Amino acid sequence: MLIRRAPMFKASEITDYRLYLNRRQFMRGAATLALAPRVAIAGETTGVPAGKALSATKSETFRVADRPTPFKDATTYNNFYEFGMDKEDPARYAHMLKPRPWSVQVDGLVHKPKRFDIEDILRFPQEERVYALRCVEAWSMVIPWIGFPLADLLGQVEPMGAAKFVAFTTLKDPEQFPGQKPNFFGGSAVEWPYVEGLRLDEAMHPLTLVTVGMYGQVLPNQNGAPIRIVVPWKYGFKSAKSIVRIQLTQEQPKTAWEKAAPQEYGFYSNVNPSVDHPRWSQATERRIGEFMRRKTLMFNGYADQVASLYAGMDLKKNY
């Protein structure tokens, strides 16, 4: 008797654990939507139009040789739970976000706390870097990001000697981010506002980028407009989007996903093929736009640059 193996499902199709726990509320919300009149939503079928051009110097030092992910894929298949849990939700609801005016408060254990307007941030010399951004569901994209080292921004506020960590806080506004509404598809996956963090030496590493654009233009809303962080050797959720505050602290900040599912998402979240997610393997990945899977590289291919940051650490314990 010939037994056929069921086709392998994609990691992105796995139900989020918090959503599973709220499945009854989800079904009630889905039923409500099914009965509601159909409304065309901006960006739902037409893709993402080009935004305002953003000039940048191309970096030969910080770029991978891989072909960039098509712009359409990079802007219509995203994790951004402030807009919703589905990969298509950020592009579907992105028109609700108003990225101007915008400012970022940088404070905490610094000598010169300062509020930076987005126009101030855009005056920093911008460079284009091609980084692979890897997501914890075992898929990845290669994106030409535009920005500048976070170290340049932190240098302006002069961190105190007691500062050991950097916390990033994103905008909390349910009117702009429908995924933050408590009744949106049965509840939020994480606690709002979204908080992420890095150790100070990670934040000061030249690979860590304050990002304001991609593909030669300003950041689309669904990709974290108007300002986000990109940390290319960590899983994508560490790269906080739509930031409104950067705070230097002595204590390790409690991040959103640590609070939501500490057994699955640790503080460091370095790309490590030998440490699996409890619900799937991280040994291989699928590059969006490609059919075949590839082996996951330690630190997402940046081991030569960042491995020294974790010398002597147990990376399975400090996942």
Report the CATH number at residue 40. 3.90.420.10
Residue 156 has pLDDT above 50, yes or no: yes
**Residue 99, preceding peptide bond in cis (omega within 30° of 0):** no
Which helix (H) or strand (E) segment is 198 a member of?
A: strand 195-199
- Does 41 map to a domain? yes
CA-to-CA separations, 116 to 5, 102, 119, 245, in angstroms, rounded: 55, 9, 8, 10
Domain total in the chain: 1
pLDDT in tens, 9-34: 344 444 444 444 444 343 334 433 33
| Percent of the chain surpassing pLDDT 90 | 79
Q: Which pLDDT score is estimated for 12?
A: 43
What is the mean pLDDT of the segment spanning 182-205? 86
Asked if the model's pLDDT at residue 291 lies above 60, the reply is yes
Report helix, strand or coil for 309: helix
CA distance 21 to 15: 10
Q: Is residue 1 part of a domain?
A: no
Question: Which residues touch 316 (CB under 8 Å, ≥6 apart)?
Answer: 272, 274, 275
Contact 132, 207 (CB under 8 A): no
C-alpha to C-alpha distance for 10 and 290, rounded to whole angstroms:
13
Do the Cβ atoms of 38 and 114 come closer than 8 Å?
Answer: no
Residue 104 has pLDDT above 80, yes or no: yes
First to last CA, the chain: 44
Query: Over the stretch 127-143, which tens digit does the pLDDT of each residue have?
Result: 999 999 999 999 999 99
In terms of residue numbers, what domain contains 209? 11-310
Q: Is 17 part of a structural domain of the chain?
A: yes
**Separation CA 234–CA 211 (nearest Å):** 15
Angle at 142 between CA 61 and CA 228, to 5 degrees: 80
Instruction: Give a yes or no: residue 256 inside a domain.
Output: yes
Question: What predicted TM-score, i.e. pTM, was given to this entire model?
Answer: 0.85
The reply to whether 3 falls in a domain is: no
In a domain, residue 230? The reply is: yes
DSSP string, 109-121: SBSS-EEEEHHHH
pLDDT at position 27: 39
Q: Would 208 be classed as within a structural domain?
A: yes
Residue 55's nearest CA partner among 224, 227, 218 is 218
pLDDT value at residue 65: 87
Q: Give 275: exposed, middle or buried? Use CB within 10 Å, 0-12, 13-18, 19+.
A: middle
Closest CA to 63 of 228, 207, 269, 217: 207
Cα separation, 208 vs 80, whole angstroms: 20
Q: Which position has the token pair 């305002």?
A: 52
CA distance 219 to 224: 7
> Is residue 317 one of the residues assigned to a domain?
no
